[in-house]
């Protein structure tokens, strides 16, 4: 599913901006969801985006700014004065506002904050700017509705009416004590179904999932996914309620993590996008290409030691790609399964049991492939000895690559390195070298 707009439509808008056809533009965007407006804007240039944004009402404009792609945003926000930007930030949810301001240098950040009218929001944003982007504190918004444990339902509903105006997505009312320590929650449904005089203390759910502000964003995602939550409260070390994280932000975390893992698996060392500069794109690819190349040169050096054998039996060289490719494929398959098991909450049962399973699967696949290759070589080649060497080497490579693919991600994970790296060029390079080693050792032992 793509939320792209046709080039024709974008061109039409672009022309309307040029000719300042404001009524046409206002009509066009009236009632359009801010997420769709930001999709449209990704096709326009920075000046055109700004022109359109100024025609929208500031609340919609604020949403558009939050939802637009980060790269597009950066370009066109540069056209705004701090005062202009402040007008939108007054209307933006605190978590989005903090993310946006974090993209600016310190000086402009402070100028924007100084120009804002919504002083509660300014305080919220300043609080949020302290947190690292990838922890619960960096994901949370300050806007939430809370009720004191000593209130009744009527007081609680009045508070929803009062505080609720600022809160975009209201799922739940948090219950706190006089010191703002989080005690539990009341769902909107329960509140709607209760009579006015019921006490909050009789209605609230005391056992609820919560996260500390310092917890890692992936941990937050796991917890929300485990308990099927649409929102989770954030507390500080003293247990005080300081914010809430909504599921839409966590969905973004999950998607980004999946992309990062894919990139790690494919040997891209930085987050790259189609819109990056040439040199950025080239640079993201180079590190792992150089690792692979170094592996290849090491391999060349190793093969150099077998020059005599190779000139005597050049057919030995024919099977180098078969051996290295199979080693790489087997290694990546094994490591991917381990990486996914690690990601979905670790292993159940004993470690030795797992190694035994890997071992048996490797034997099954090794025997199957080695027999197929042996059969092929018996039909199409007349070097019976070499056929045996290739099959024995292939079998050994499959065994070793399975083992390597299994332990590498576990070891990386232990050292706090993203285990998905183990499904990438790293394991292929290792397995290429191991494969070559095994193949030529077997050949040296068996060919006379």
Give, as ranges, the residues between 75 and 94 that touch a copy of itself (CB under 8 A).
Answer: none
Among 149, 303, 388, 447, binds a copy of itself (CB under 8 A): 303
Q: Which residues contact 163 (CB under 8 A, 6 or more apart)?
A: 144, 145, 146
H/E segment holding residue 235:
strand 231-235
Candidates 55, 79, 126, 337: give the one binding a copy of itself (CB under 8 A). 337
Q: Is residue 135 a contact residue for a copy of itself (CB under 8 A)?
A: no
Residue 296 as a binder of a copy of itself (CB under 8 A): the answer is yes
Contact between residue 236 and residue 212 where contact means Cβ atoms under 8 Å apart: yes
* CB nearer to a copy of itself: pick between 83 and 318: 318
Instruction: Tell me whether residue 170 or residue 388 sits nearer to a copy of itself (CB atom).
Output: 170
For the beta carbon of residue 95, count every other beta carbon within 10 angstroms: 25
Q: In Å, what is the CA distance from 203 to each residue of 103, 185, 234, 330?
A: 43, 9, 21, 56
* Interaction of residue 138 with a copy of itself, rule CB under 8 A: no
The smaller minimum CB distance to a copy of itself, of residues 226 and 444, is found at 226
Q: 38-57: which residues touch a copy of itself (CB under 8 A)?
A: 39, 42-43
- Kindly determine how many residues on this chain lie close enough to bind a copy of itself according to the rule CB under 8 A: 125
Residue 258 interacts with a copy of itself (CB under 8 A): yes or no: yes
Between CA 429 and CA 328 the distance in angstroms is 8
Instruction: Please identify which residue in 29, 76, 124, 319 interacts with a copy of itself, judged by CB under 8 A.
Output: 319
What gap in Å lies between CA 204 and CA 198, rounded to an integer? 11
* Rounded distance between C-alpha atoms, residue 381 and residue 83, angstroms: 79
Tokens 């703002």 -> residue: 180
- Among positions 139-198, residues that touch a copy of itself (CB under 8 A) are 157, 160-161, 164, 167, 169-171, 187-189, 191-193
Query: Contact at 8 Å (CB) between 334 and 405?
Result: yes
Task: Identify residues 226-255 at the interface with a copy of itself (CB under 8 A).
Answer: 226-230, 246-248, 250-252, 254-255
Q: How far is the CB of 136 from a copy of itself (least distance, A)?
A: 12
Instruction: Name which of residues 372 to 411 contact a copy of itself (CB under 8 A).
Output: 372-373, 376, 380
Q: Is 267 left (phi over 0), alpha (psi -120 to 50) or beta?
A: left
Is residue 6 a contact residue for a copy of itself (CB under 8 A)?
no
What is d(CA 327, CA 322) in angstroms, rounded to the nearest whole number? 9
- Residue 66's nearest CA partner among 94, 43, 45, 87 is 94
The whole-angstrom separation of Cα 336 and Cα 421 is 10
Give yes or no for residue 295 binding a copy of itself (CB under 8 A): yes
| Collapsed DSSP state (helix, strand, coil) of residue 246 | strand
Among 265, 387, 404, 443, binds a copy of itself (CB under 8 A): 265
CA distances from 264 to 251, 422, 423, 431 (A): 20, 8, 8, 17
Q: Minimum distance between the CB of residue 133 and a copy of itself, rounded to whole angstroms?
A: 19
Q: Does 365 bind a copy of itself (CB under 8 A)?
A: yes
Q: Which of 77, 232, 268, 404 binds a copy of itself (CB under 8 A)?
A: 268
Q: Does 325 bind a copy of itself (CB under 8 A)?
A: yes
Tokens standing for residue 176: 């706190």
Query: Scanning residues 9 to 28, which ones bind a copy of itself (CB under 8 A)?
Result: none
- The residue range among 74-82, 110-118, 127-135, 367-375 that interacts with a copy of itself, by the rule CB under 8 A, is 367-375
Window 423-442: residues binding a copy of itself (CB under 8 A):
423, 425, 428-429, 432, 436
**What is the smallest separation between the CB atom of 439 and a copy of itself, expressed in angstroms?**
11
- Nearest distance in Å: CB 377, a copy of itself: 9
**Which pair of tokens denotes residue 92?**
């933006």
Asked if 245 and 139 count as a contact pair (C-beta separation under 8 A), the reply is yes
């Amino acid at each position: 599913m793509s939320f792209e707009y046709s080039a024709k439509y974008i061109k039409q808008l672009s022309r309307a901006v040029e000719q300042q056809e404001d009524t046409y533009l206002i009509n066009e965007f009236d009632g359009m969801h801010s997420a769709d407006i930001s999709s449209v804007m990704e096709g326009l240039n920075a000046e055109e985006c700004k022109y359109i944004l100024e025609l929208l009402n500031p609340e919609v404009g604020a949403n558009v700014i939050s939802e637009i792609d980060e790269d597009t945003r950066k370009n066109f926000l540069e056209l705004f004065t701090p005062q202009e930007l402040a007008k939108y930030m007054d209307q933006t949810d605190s978590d989005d506002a903090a993310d946006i301001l974090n993209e600016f240098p310190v000086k402009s950040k402070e100028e924007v904050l100084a120009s804002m009218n919504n002083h509660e929001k300014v305080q919220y944003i300043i609080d949020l700017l302290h947190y690292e982007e990838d922890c619960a504190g960096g994901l949370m918004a300050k806007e939430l509705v809370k009720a004191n444990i000593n209130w009744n339902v009527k007081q609680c509903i009045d508070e929803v009416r009062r505080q609720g105006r600022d809160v975009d997505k209201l799922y739940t009312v948090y219950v706190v004590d006089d010191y703002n320590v989080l005690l539990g929650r009341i769902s909107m449904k329960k509140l709607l179904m209760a009579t006015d005089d019921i006490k909050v203390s009789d209605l609230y759910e005391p056992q609820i999932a919560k996260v500390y502000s310092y917890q890692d964003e992936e941990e937050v995602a796991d917890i929300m996914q485990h308990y099927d939550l649409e929102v989770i409260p954030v507390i500080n070390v003293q247990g005080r309620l300081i914010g809430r994280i909504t599921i839409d932000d966590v969905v973004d975390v999950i998607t980004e993590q999946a992309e990062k893992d894919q990139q790690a698996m494919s040997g891209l060392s930085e987050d790259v996008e189609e819109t990056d500069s040439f040199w950025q794109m080239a640079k993201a690819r180079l590190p792992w290409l150089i690792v692979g190349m170094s592996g290849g040169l090491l391999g060349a050096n190793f093969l150099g030691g077998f020059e005599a054998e190779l000139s005597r039996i050049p057919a030995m060289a024919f099977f180098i790609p078969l051996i290295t490719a199979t080693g790489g494929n087997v290694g990546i398959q094994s490591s991917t399964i381990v990486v996914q098991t690690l990601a979905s909450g670790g292993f159940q049962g004993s470690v030795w049991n797992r190694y035994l399973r890997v071992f048996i699967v490797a034997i099954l696949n090794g025997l199957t492939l080695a027999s197929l290759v042996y059969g092929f070589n018996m039909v199409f080649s007349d070097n019976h000895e070499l056929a045996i060497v290739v099959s024995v080497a292939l079998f050994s490579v499959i065994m070793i690559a399975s083992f390597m693919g299994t332990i590498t991600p576990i070891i990386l994970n232990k050292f706090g390195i993203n285990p998905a790296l183990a499904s990438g060029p790293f394991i292929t390079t290792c397995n290429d070298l191991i494969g070559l080693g095994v193949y030529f050792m077997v050949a040296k032992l068996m060919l006379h």
